[in-house]
Every structure is written in C-alpha cells, then in structure tokens.
Amino acid sequence: MPKTTLNHFLVQQPAPPETLVKLLGKTGITINGDAPWDIQVYDETVYRDVLTRGTLGFGQAYIEGRWDCARLDEFFTRVMRADIDEEMGGWGKLQLLGDILRHALFNLQAPNRAFQVAQLHYDIGNDVFESMLDSSMSYSCAYWEHAHTLEEAQAHKLDMICRKLDLQPGERVLEIGCGWGGLARHMAQNYGVDVVGITVSREQQTIARERCAGLAVDIQLMDYRELQGQFDKIVSVGMFEHVGPKNYPVYFETVHRLLKDNGLFLLHSIGNHKTALYTDAWIDRYIFPNGKLPSASEISLAIEKKFLIEDWHNFGPDYDRTLMAWWDKFSRAWPELQFKYDESFYRMWKYYLMCCAGYFRSRQGQLWQLVLSKRQSNRIYRSVRPVPG
C-alpha cells in the first residue's frame, strides 16, 4: 500500500450534506460509517466537488486522497445497482450538459483522434500491464466457467474465439485492435492461420511484433478505416468501445468490405445495459478518452442490412472476476512499480479497476461476443461454448 498523505486534511469529521446522506442511504452506504463499503471523508471539499462536478469531481477527490473506502468494489456495486451514479453525474449539470453536447455534436473518434487513447492509456508503460495481466497479455474479459486461475481463464477465452471463428489452416485472419499480440500468436501457433493485426499503440505494436516473431503474423500501426484486402475471418476484441456511434456505420461497412462472402466476424465488446448519451466523465478524462460503450439496440441497428447474427453470447459477470484478478496482481506488484509511478497513479488505477468491477457486478455492464456473417454466406453455423476439461 502507498504511504498515506492525509495528515494535512481536517481532523474533525465534516458534516455531510443531507442530500448525499439520503441518497447513499438507499444503498446501505454511510458516510464515515464502519462498514467496509462506507466512505471515509477527510476533506469537506469532497461534498462541493460531488455536488458541482458529479462523478468527475468525486473521482478526482479520490485520486487526491480526500476520501477513501476499504472496499471500493463493493461501494461502486451498491451505487451502480441502485443507479445512484447517474444521479451523482446529474448534479454537475453544466459538466453533464457539456458531455452530452460533446458526444452529440462532435465525432470524438474521428481518424485524427484515433490515436489519443493509446497516448493516454495503452502507452503509459508496458510494465504496468505486464504486472497486471496474464502471460498472453490479454487486456479483455476472461472466460471463467471452467477456469480456476486468470491464466486458464484467458487461455479458454482465446481458444473459444478461435473455435467460434472455425479457424482452418491457411486462412487469412484480420484482428482489429490486436493489443500486445496474444490472440494473434495463439491463432497462428495453434490454428495455422496467417494473421494481420492492427493497433493504434506504438508500445503494443513493438511488444506484439516481438511476441509473434517467426510466426505468420503482421502487426501494423494504423486506424481500421485505412484497411484494404480480403480476409477469411475477422475478429475484434476490446476495440469496439473506442469506435463511437457516429462511426458504427463506417466500422461495419469496413468489416463487410474486407470479409469474404463465406467468412465470419467475431465482435467482442463491453456493452451497456441501456443506450447512454455520454461516457462517464472520470473514465473519459483519466482512462479511455473519447470512448463510448454500445447498447444492444445500437449494435443491432448498426449491423442491420450488413450482417446476420449467428450467435450473441453474454458473460458479463466474468469481467468482474477478471478485474479483481488484475487488481490482485497489480497490488502485489506495486512495491516494485512505486519507484516509477507515484501514489496518485496508484489511487487512479485502483479507482479505475474497482469502479469497473462494480459496473459489471451491478449488471449495468455486459460483455458480449457476437458472431456475424454475411447474408451471402452458405455456411450453417453452430454456436460454440467451452466444455469442461
């Protein structure tokens, strides 16, 4: 754990606003209470920031050490299960209105902005991700049904994707958003396919090329809109969250153009339980700039007249377990990482992983794998799930 920096804050407990007390009371959370999911407020400016800036002010106050909670994951679960987070976001009305207008008026995922998320998040330092992820460097939801460890769960996920795609030796496969090359390597090594992977992160490209050296894998730094060619199968894991609704038409048109008529496309994406007009301001500022989680209706509308849905698999609860496994590994690695990253980074990263765990545990968040085909396809598709052993 990082050293505390709270000794300069008020010693006397500040009186919380009655509005906050009543709102959190609906969830069983008490301000300065004794339960592990209760928040401990050390500086009364936290209340001002929550009431005027919503979730952005609340998250920034946590990074600065102005409040704490023993079980952040349970705090967020309770808040999101009761949809209190939406009311908190609404308090910062000017901030909220700005976020809604920003998403409505501007293409936040335009080609000239496509690389921003890599600069802020994916390129922060490979050592952070290496300490947190499994050996395949899979930065997406694992599949835990028959797994006991993160390593097993990610391996099961990778192989489930390959079997859902019905990969055959010699096929040409495109991976849109290839990360650090874990899936590309798995497909090439175990299924004998040729893989073209693309990423917007230079750090990911460097590591992916090293990890896939000697295999039929080509890792390119590019935006998906630049792609050309024809592929037997296409897969995209954990990248669609960065596409944005304004670009869904061109995204699916691009995939449709690149996919052979008898091919298959697997889309692996976080999904929101309902259509939202904006992204949480704290996540947008600190973690995934310009991101936007799709709803089921948004995806369905975007693929209409382009693809048929062969399979729609939801295993959202597995993301909660994945995130907690990542946190366990990161926290155990912190004694070494703290020499390079400061306490604010530690608190930011913890807040990120814990609020995401609460998002899935509350069932606001879903994890979808869709298998899509063209109407021109003559294949008969059978849904695939892992089996024990």
Residue partners of 234: CB distance under 8 A and separation at least 6:
173, 174, 175, 176, 255, 258, 259, 263, 264, 265, 266
- 296-308 pLDDT, tens per residue? 999 999 999 999 9
The HSE-up count of residue 204 (CA atoms within 13 Å, CB side) is 31
Paired tokens of 279? 């992204």
- 248-276 pLDDT, tens per residue? 999 999 999 999 999 999 999 999 999 98
Q: Does the pLDDT value for residue 294 go beyond 70? A: yes
pLDDT at 389: 57
Confidence of residue 117 (pLDDT cuts 50, 70, 90): very low
Three-state secondary-structure class, residue 335: helix
Mean pLDDT of the chain: 88
Over residues 78-83, mean pLDDT = 93
* Choice between 247 and 100, residue whose per-residue pLDDT is larger: 247
CA distances from 389 to 106, 145, 188, 312, 314 (A): 49, 11, 23, 24, 22
pLDDT at 278: 76
pLDDT at 159: 97
Instruction: Tell me the C-alpha distance between 303 and 309, whole Å.
Output: 9
Instruction: Tell me the C-alpha distance between 58 and 46, whole Å.
Output: 7
Residue 253 burial (CB count, 10 A): 13
Task: Determine which helix (DSSP H) or strand (DSSP E) holds 146, and give its type and residue range.
Answer: none
Instruction: Tell me the C-alpha distance between 14 and 38, whole Å.
Output: 15
Over residues 5-21, mean pLDDT = 62
Specify which residues 231 forms β-bridges with. Answer: 259
Residue partners of 347: CB distance under 8 A and separation at least 6:
2, 62, 63, 65
Confidence of residue 15 (pLDDT cuts 50, 70, 90): confident
Over residues 299-327, mean pLDDT = 97
Q: Does the pLDDT value for residue 9 go beyond 50? A: no
Instruction: Tell me the C-alpha distance between 340 and 111, whole Å.
Output: 32
pLDDT at 118: 53
Rounded percentage of the chain residues whose pLDDT exceeds 70:
86
- 169-202 pLDDT, tens per residue? 999 999 999 999 999 999 999 999 999 999 988 8
Paired tokens of 229? 């060619």
Specify which residues 156 forms β-bridges with. Answer: none
Pairing verdict, β 194-199 and 231-237: unpaired
Among the listed ranges 67-71, 117-121, 322-326, which one has the minimum average pLDDT value? 117-121
Among the listed ranges 57-61, 134-138, 310-314, 385-389, which one has the minimum average pLDDT value? 385-389
pLDDT at 386: 76
Confidence of residue 120 (pLDDT cuts 50, 70, 90): low
Among the listed ranges 88-92, 120-124, 294-298, which one has the minimum average pLDDT value? 88-92
Paired tokens of 284? 């947008």
Over residues 107-134, mean pLDDT = 67
Compute the residue count for the chain: 389
Cα 105 to chain centroid distance, Å, stands at 24
pLDDT at 82: 92
Maximum alpha-carbon separation in the chain? 72
Q: Does the pLDDT value for residue 6 go beyond 70? A: no
Rounded percentage of the chain residues whose pLDDT exceeds 90:
71
pLDDT at 112: 53
Three-state secondary-structure class, residue 196: strand
Among the listed ranges 85-94, 123-132, 311-320, 370-379, which one has the minimum average pLDDT value? 85-94
Instruction: Tell me the C-alpha distance between 276 and 293, whole Å.
Output: 8
* Choice between 221 and 99, residue whose per-residue pLDDT is larger: 221
Ranges 49-53, 241-245, 331-335, most confident: 331-335
**Phi, psi angle pair for 341, to nearest 5°:** -115, 145
pLDDT at 122: 60
Pairing verdict, β 172-176 and 231-237: parallel
Q: Does the pLDDT value for residue 115 go beyond 70? A: no
Secondary structure letter of residue 119 according to DSSP: I
Three-state secondary-structure class, residue 365: strand
Q: Does the pLDDT value for residue 105 go beyond 60? A: no
356 tagged catalytic: yes
